[in-house]
Amino acid sequence: MSAEVAARAAVIAALKADRALMDGLNGLFDGEPGRASVPYAFIDACIGADWGGKAMDGREVRLSLALRVGDEAAARLGGMIGRVDVAMAGMGVHDGWRIVTARLARSRVARDEGKSPVGWRAVIDYRLRMVREG
């Protein structure tokens, strides 16, 4: 399996394991859903680059996660972002790839005017460094 696909699956598994986060969401999707009711989360863009060496096959994967709520204020997103950070720290081996580090690259919170209902969206970008096991 490619590192990018393994990273997506690992993040989804880690987030689904966080009951507090999942209890606050109507769904967690691999890609933006065509139809879903807020609040929900989805894995968005995923970009991979070589991060290997002579003796190891490694990848650096940049992955975006989006959270969407239909609230008038962005306050609920703060707690969700905190839960995501906790879940991301606990990833290990997934589909033959060991996640060595998972670091926050950047995050942004903005009004989500283009959707119905109008609400708020947080986009959180992570940098995962991974090495192939075996």
Nearest to residue 42, comparing CAs of 24, 29, 52?
29
Please give the order of strands across the beta sheet that includes 40-50.
28-30, 40-50, 58-69, 119-132, 97-112, 93-94
pLDDT tens per residue across span 31-40: 999 889 999 9
Q: What is the pLDDT of residue 92?
A: 85
* Percent helix / strand / coil, the chain, rounded to 5: 25, 45, 30
Where do the structural domains in the chain lie, given as residue ranges?
Answer: 3-132
C-alpha 31: how far from chain center:
10
Question: Tokens 């959180």 identify what position?
Answer: 124
Architecture of the structural domain at 3-132: 2-Layer Sandwich (3.30)
Strands 40-50 and 28-30: parallel
Tens digit of each residue's pLDDT (9 = 90 or more) over 63-117: 999 999 999 899 999 999 999 999 998 888 889 999 999 999 999 999 987 767 7
pLDDT band for position 53 (50/70/90)? confident
pTM for the model stands at: 0.91
Residue 7 pLDDT > 90: yes
